[in-house]
Structure 1
Amino acid sequence: MTRDDKFNIQRRTVWRNFWQRLSGVPDLAVKLLFVALYLAGMVWVWSKQEAVSAYAQSVEFMSPIMLAAMTHIVPAYLIVGGAVLAVLMVYPFGRKAAQDQLRSIGLVNRAEMVPELLRKRQDKEHPRVTVWEFRNQSIPLAVWEEKQAALEAALDISIVKIIYGKSRSRVLIYAVPTQTSLPDILRWSDSYLSSDSFVLTLGESLLGPVTVNLVHIPHILLGGSTGSGKSVLLKLLLMQALHKGAEVYIADFKGGVDFSKVWREKCRMCFTEAELLDTLDNLVRELEQRKGLLAKTGCPNLDAYNEATGENLPRLVFGCDEVAEVLDRTGRSKGDKELLAQIESRLATIARLGRAFGIHLILATQRPDANIIPGQIKNNMDFRVCGRADSVLSQIILDNTSAADQIPKDARGRFITGDGTVFQGYLFDEEQL
């Protein structure tokens, strides 16, 4: 950026800041003002049309075009004024300001060309979201994503997502005003329970409810440091699975401290590693049995089998709050290591094959150790969620550091998914079971 560029940007910014202090009027209000002025002008022109027409005919030397316009002033006003109003309504106010801000944060290509704001529009599905459409000047999407925090500060917005438009020459930024934010606490209500087959609701993002369909995404991996709220989120998901008729299995190695009596009445609990292995053995046997049933009937999945046979085989959901503690073999005896190896093998089998047969894993961990959760298990956990975490744990759960970058250090119940959606999880009261 040259010295003249910097000077011009600074000069324009001073004037914009001065105007914002005086007005503070949003784009929509300005455009409504234009509409009101256009209508008021039409009323005035209508009242003066005879006088203007008479004046035009009394002037001897007047061009034919001007004479026609003044003689037919109302149609002329409607055509010309309507065209001007249409341009003003679609023109993205702040186009030059946006370019200055993007240049100031270094979002330019190698030719020093800055992205151009083409338009701003309200998102049809989410009325509180504004879509900023830019001609990206050959700047790839990854660069925009890297500069998300700088973009938010420069444009004074909270970015929900950044994607390509209809072509890769366009970038769309979905954003809300900085005053719009997620609440610190969202209480669960049974009205949030999805009516769709096996859709579980996790919380709310700026775009609305965040859900996962176990029919299509069978396994869930939750991560987060102590106090991040992942245990509450795990219980929320297991509670919904119970409401939808699933059989729920829970591994709790704290003697039932984390799961109250009501859970033990409604779920199948295991408190020791031996009991866990027995539970997983039963799940694998059920998996093999269902595999045979589906093969015999030619059905591709559990729902198709139930529909074809009239049976009602339930989905089976296994939840474990601290799976890393279960799989960690550090300092264990030879016998314990063999037992843990069998547990790991059963989990890997369910992770690989459970989808079609309605057997699901929901695993949570706070351990930032890549060696604890084997790749054959982790790679089959398609839906990943992380709460407050350091960069190491975020990298393990999401394969990026977005949880460390975007979740506040003091946040509780705030999570981010693998696709970058930040949401506030519902606070679930166990008495609601």
Structure 2
Amino acid sequence: MSKNKLKSEKPESKKLRSSAPDANTLKKDKEAEVKVKELVKDERTHKVLGMICLLLSVYFFIAFTSYLFTWQEDQDKVFRYSADVLFMTDLKVDNLLGRLGAFVSHWFFYRGVGVASYFFCYLFFILGINFIVGRRVFRIWRNIKHILFGLLFISTGMAFIAIHDGFPWGGALGDAINRWSIGFIGKTGTALLLIVAGLSWLIWKFNFDFKWPERKPRPPRAVPEPAPAPVSTAAATAMVAAEPSAKRRNALKGDGGVMVIPPNADNEPEEDTDMQLVEREQAPAGPGITYIPPAPDIPLEEEEEPAAAEEPEEEEEAGPLLYIEETVEPAPKKKRTPPEEVAFEIKELKDAEEDLPEDVELVREPVHADPYDPMLDLRDYQYPGLEMLESHVNEKVVQDAGELEKNKNQIIDTLKNYDISIQKISATVGPTVTLYEIVPAAGVRISRIKNLEDDIALSLAALGIRIIAPIPGKGTIGIEVPNVKKSIVSLKALLASEKFQHNNMDLPIAIGKKIDNENFIADLAKMPHLLMAGATGQGKSVGINTLLVSLLYKKHPSQLKFVLVDPKKVELSLYKLIEKHFLAKLPGEEDAIITDTKKVIHTLNALCIEMDVRYDLLKEAGTRNIREYNHKFVQRRLNPQKGHRYLPFIVLVIDEFADLIMTAGKEVEMPIARLAQLARAVGIHLIIATQRPSVNIITGTIKANFPARIAFKVSSKIDSRTILDIGGAEQLIGQGDMLVSFNGELVRLQCAFVDTPEVEKVAEFIGDQRGYPEAFMLPEYVDEKELEGKEFSLQDRDPLFEEAARVIVQNQQGSTSLLQRRMKLGYNRAGRLMDQLEQAGIVGPNMGSKARDVMVKTEADLEEILNTL
């Protein structure tokens, strides 16, 4: 190949002509090999094979059935000419499928397995169904095992039953096995063998339950028990020690934790009995039960329960015991729970567990249709691999013992200068920051240490000292000191972690690592919205890429859609390649990455319409959130003809929120506030980033609905308080160092780093695969200001006018929300369509909250009206 390539680059025409045929020949061989592989994997090939299998199944069934009636007329012809009968055009046979049908039937019946040949029809039928549907409807290997057993058993059994009949009921195979078996064990033995084989298969298949009726034992006559004689504590101890281990063992609860107080003797002082405790192992116990024998002055004749007489003799020798729960009741209790009842309850529990597989087997019968799988639209979709991400050189955390010792001494000396003594100090080394935990001496006020933040920073000559006084959940004070040698936290390490790979989160996002090197993986669906802020160049854009890439690695395109807003026009442009997989946009828009402020307003309002439509779907389905709704839809308990559909999660990402507020103001703030308040239950989540965390940008309305917040380094303590309601973000060191406020905790993290080429590789890998025909379409939104002063006329009616009219007439319901759900329209466009339908006389006038009357009752009348317009 290299020589041919070098020759082709030379200018001489003769050499070009001589090398061309070799190159073409090699190229054709390579293309043919690739096409064969693709042809084998193509689902169309599988469907063709399925049709062929179904044809063979029907062909064999007709040929075999015809053979049952025409075998006498056709058998001599097949015997005489053998395979030549297939090519004798002047020969006529009576089989419905001609000479081939007669020949095939003869071989399957006479020279094969007889009437058991019908199993081959079943085999080709299940193969054809599996190939056509594209998944395992029937279990092939399990059915093949049943078919093999049926071929042997049916052919042998039919040959045995019709041994002197002229028709080959068992075929050559059945006759051969039958003759050998009769010669070996006789006719009676063969019959018994066939009966046992058939019953064994039925028992193995259906697991019949053979139970002999139980005889209930007659309760014995109650005999009064003699009162035990007074026993001293020493004698009681000796009696317990002398008992055999088999009698004393607790069969239900093991050997531990049961304390027994022996009976008091009349002649012994009460103080001695309180000190004498004997461990007893005999009485059967449930968890947390103490056994106390009754006092000897309680007459046992008063016990009226008949079960008391059923106790074993061993139990009676040890003395009757009372069962008292952890909440101990008074000792002189006359009734008791016999041990037999405890064992009886456990036996019932076993019976229930044994019957459970039968109930489960009944539930698993294919009564309902198979669950709906939203991933089948892109069944060949492949998730990106970790090899597309890079492992950085300085990723490993470096522990410099000299640096740690120096910082420790500086902290201790600085505190001593201010007469503050400490008891203990420990260090935890993280990727960029080391946490020193100190335990102050008794009597030291925490505020004194907190006020020394600048002095400790001066003594350590470090930037970004942060004091946590005290650390939540610990009795220590934390001092965070930046490392001299910082480590990079790669996104690849987080995505490869066990915590990210195996979780039950709806939208898992890998954010970064804590100071103790623990991976911080959170669920965006439970946040439910995320607010990111920080100064320019501190890692916001990298943080957004980290969140988006981690979602791309975990979710299928059918489960997740992104709405990307990028006023800077360059930060999120890499994700254009995955438009037909993961992006959502407005109808009629060319670019899925929204950069124009006016289009941002329309997109946010379209998301509000989508939210309202989803809430209507949840209301009709009787569910409270998107997980319950999708579970019902997957189980095929919701009808798509009524507007129900599988709802993917939608994540709205706004890269520079401050620019939108400056240019649009309230028009942007109001829909975002609505989404933040209501959208979490229907699977719409927001990620908003800004570099100006001022009060007029992050207003109280927005801030109240964003409980999860990320703060990168900011310039002042006021900005930190605006984001986190607490200071500390101004002490960060930048380059991905951040504070995360989530679930009431404030955690310092080092953000995972993913570079632009890595994001580009992932986007190209996804974009090169087969996607949907177009991006996910949001409902259409039309600004009401653009419609003011405009009157509807039937001459310029909406392009969807006729479709909307048919939907209204078919359902006989003049509802705007019906058009929204069925046709996936916005409220404004659906309202305009309803007004045009009113002018055309299809629906009646507006009746407030009630649905309009439908004036046209049949589709034939509707077609006449549409033809006249």
TM-score, scaled relative to structure 1: 0.60
Bigger Cα displacement from structure 2, 312-321 vs 421-430: 421-430
Task: Report if the CA contact (8 A) 2:510-2:521 is conserved.
Answer: yes
Give the Å deviation of 1:231: 1.0
What is the distance in 1 between the residues matched to 2:709 and 2:487?
A: 22
Task: Report if the CA contact (8 A) 1:300-1:356 is conserved.
Answer: yes
Q: Does 1:283 align with 2:607?
A: yes
What is the distance in 1 between the residues matched to 2:437 and 2:452?
A: 17
Q: Does 1:396 align with 2:710?
A: no
Task: Report if the CA contact (8 A) 1:203-1:425 is conserved.
Answer: yes
Report the secondary structure of 2:710's partner residue. strand
Change (3 A) 1:151 1:212: farther
Give the Å deviation of 1:156: 11
- Map 1:172-211 → 2, pairs under 5 A: 172-173=477-478, 182-184=486-488, 186=490, 188=492, 190-191=495-496, 193-196=500-503, 197=505, 198-207=507-516, 208-211=518-521
Residue 430 of structure 1 corresponds to 759
Change (3 A) 1:353 1:103: farther
Q: Does 1:214 align with 2:524?
A: yes
Identify which of 664, 670, 676 aligns with 1:345.
670
- Map 1:227-376 → 2, pairs under 5 A: 227-243=537-553, 244=555, 245-255=559-569, 258-260=572-574, 261-265=576-580, 266-268=582-584, 269=592, 270-296=594-620, 299-310=623-634, 313-329=647-663, 340-376=665-701
The structure with higher relative contact order (CA 8 Å, sep 6+) is 1
What is the distance in 2 between the residues matched to 1:257 and 1:217?
A: 24
What is the distance in 1 between the residues matched to 2:483 and 2:692?
A: 35
What is the distance in 2 between the residues matched to 1:283 and 1:364?
A: 19
Give the Å deviation of 1:137: 2.7
Task: Report if the CA contact (8 A) 2:567-2:659 is conserved.
Answer: no
Give the Å deviation of 1:292: 3.4
What is the distance in 1 between the residues matched to 2:739 and 2:620?
A: 41
What is the distance in 1 between the residues matched to 2:654 and 2:442?
A: 45
Q: Does 1:383 align with 2:691?
A: no
What is the distance in 2 between the residues matched to 1:212 and 1:160?
A: 26
- Map 1:54-73 → 2, pairs under 5 A: none
Report the secondary structure of 2:511's partner residue. strand
Letter in 1 for 2:415: L
Bigger Cα displacement from structure 2, 206-215 vs 217-226: 206-215
What is the distance in 2 between the residues matched to 1:181 and 1:380?
A: 38
Report the secondary structure of 1:344's partner residue. helix
Change (3 A) 1:184 1:173: same
What is the distance in 2 between the residues matched to 1:98 and 1:394?
A: 26
Letter in 2 for 1:171: T
What is the distance in 1 between the residues matched to 2:448 and 2:685?
A: 37
Residue 413 of structure 1 corresponds to 736
Residue 385 of structure 2 corresponds to none
User: What residue ranges of structure 2 are gaps of 5+ in the alignment?
Assistant: 1-400, 585-591, 636-645, 764-869
- Map 1:118-157 → 2, pairs under 5 A: 132-135=438-441, 137=443, 139-140=445-446, 144-145=449-450, 147-148=452-453, 150=455
What is the distance in 2 between the residues matched to 1:103 and 1:115?
A: 6
Give the Å deviation of 1:366: 1.1
Letter in 1 for 2:496: S
What is the distance in 1 between the residues matched to 2:624 and 2:442?
A: 44
Letter in 1 for 2:595: F
What is the distance in 2 between the residues matched to 1:174 and 1:146?
A: 12
Residue 335 of structure 2 corresponds to none
What is the distance in 2 between the residues matched to 1:220 and 1:159?
A: 24
Give the Å deviation of 1:307: 3.5
What is the distance in 2 between the residues matched to 1:317 and 1:165?
A: 32
Report the secondary structure of 2:536's partner residue. coil
Give the Å deviation of 1:217: 0.9
Report the secondary structure of 1:271's partner residue. coil
What is the distance in 2 between the residues matched to 1:325 and 1:397?
A: 17
Task: Report if the CA contact (8 A) 2:489-2:750 is conserved.
Answer: no
Give the Å deviation of 1:250: 0.4
Identify which of 423, 434, 453 aligns with 1:117.
423
In terms of fraction of residues, the more strand-rich structure is 1
What is the distance in 2 between the residues matched to 1:136 and 1:424?
A: 37
Change (3 A) 1:229 1:297: same
TM-score, scaled relative to structure 2: 0.32
Q: CA-to-partner distance for each residue in 1:18-40, whole Å, 9 max, x for gaps?
A: xxxxx98x99xxxxxxxxxxxxx
Q: CA-to-partner distance for each residue in 1:357-400, whole Å, 9 max, x for gaps?
A: 22111111112532123221122222222223211543432334
Change (3 A) 1:156 1:322: closer
What is the distance in 2 between the residues matched to 1:322 and 1:296?
A: 37
Bigger Cα displacement from structure 2, 271-280 vs 315-324: 271-280
Give the Å deviation of 1:310: 3.2
Q: CA-to-partner distance for each residue in 1:138-189, whole Å, 9 max, x for gaps?
A: 624x66555456557779998795545768xx3354879x768641563545
Give the Å deviation of 1:326: 0.6
Change (3 A) 1:149 1:425: farther
Change (3 A) 1:161 1:183: farther
What is the distance in 1 between the residues matched to 2:540 and 2:472?
A: 34
Residue 320 of structure 2 corresponds to none
Q: Tell me the C-alpha RMSD between the 2 structures.
A: 4.0
Report the secondary structure of 1:305's partner residue. helix
Residue 102 of structure 1 corresponds to 415
What is the distance in 1 between the residues matched to 2:620 and 2:477?
A: 49
Task: Report if the CA contact (8 A) 1:115-1:137 is conserved.
Answer: no
Task: Report if the CA contact (8 A) 1:160-1:421 is conserved.
Answer: no
Report the secondary structure of 1:427's partner residue. coil
Give the Å deviation of 1:191: 1.9
Task: Report if the CA contact (8 A) 1:223-1:393 is conserved.
Answer: no
Report the secondary structure of 1:202's partner residue. strand
Change (3 A) 1:97 1:147: closer
Report the secondary structure of 2:616's partner residue. helix
Q: CA-to-partner distance for each residue in 1:19-75, whole Å, 9 max, x for gaps?
A: xxxx98x99xxxxxxxxxxxxxxxxxxxxxxxxxxxxxxxxxxxxxxxxxxxxxxxx
Task: Report if the CA contact (8 A) 2:615-2:682 is conserved.
Answer: yes
Task: Report if the CA contact (8 A) 1:182-1:423 is conserved.
Answer: no
What is the distance in 1 between the residues matched to 2:631 and 2:453?
A: 47
